[in-house]
Amino acid sequence: MTLSVALGPDTRESTQTGTVVSADSLTAPDVPWNLVIWNDPVNLMSYVSFVFRSYFGYSEAKADKLMMEVHKKGRSIVAHGSKEQVEQHAVAMHGYGLWATVEKATSGGKEGTSGKGKGKRG
């Protein structure tokens, strides 16, 4: 993502909250698909955060945290759910111009839980 142009010193605040938000409440074993947002050098950080707030209804702090994770780690799991749910989210994200994919919760990615002991695989 890109920070874009400076609009003035008052428009950009630090997004560092310093808090670690637990993600485990969303990773129930019966919701085995993830919505992943990938970093790109074009989408504005403010825009990505705005989309997370307005589409998912996330708080500003949560939206900024996820946005920074996309920016710094290259990707972030921003929602979980059934395959149909995350696919619907993915299309919505593509509508906004964000680069989104869906994946099974147990494959790829090191975010969230390790998947150890979850039983089912593939």
Partner 1 sequence: MAKAFKYGLKGITGYLEPAERELLRGLFADVIAMLEPEERENQDPLSALIGLDMEVQEPTDRAVRRLLPNVMKDDGAASLEFRQLTERSLREGKIGALRAASLGLDKDDLTLTETDARHWSTALNDVRLVLAERLDIQDEADAEHVHLMQDWSQAEDVESYLALVYNFTTWLQESLVQAMVHSLDTQPGTRR
Q: Which residues bind partner 1 (CB under 8 A)?
A: 2, 4-5, 7, 11, 36, 40-44, 46-47, 49-50, 53-54, 56-57, 59-60, 87, 90-91, 94-97, 99-103, 108
Of 18 and 41, CB closest to partner 1: 41
CB of 82 to partner 1, least distance (A): 14
CB of 73 to partner 1, least distance (A): 14
3-state secondary structure the chain: CECCCCCCHHHCCCCCCCCCCCCHHHCCCCCCEEEEEECCCCCEHHHHHHHHHHHHCCCHHHHHHHHHHHHHHCEEEEEEECHHHHHHHHHHHHHHCCCEEEEECCCCCCCCCCCCCCCCCC
Of 57 and 119, CB closest to partner 1: 57
Of 59 and 117, CB closest to partner 1: 59
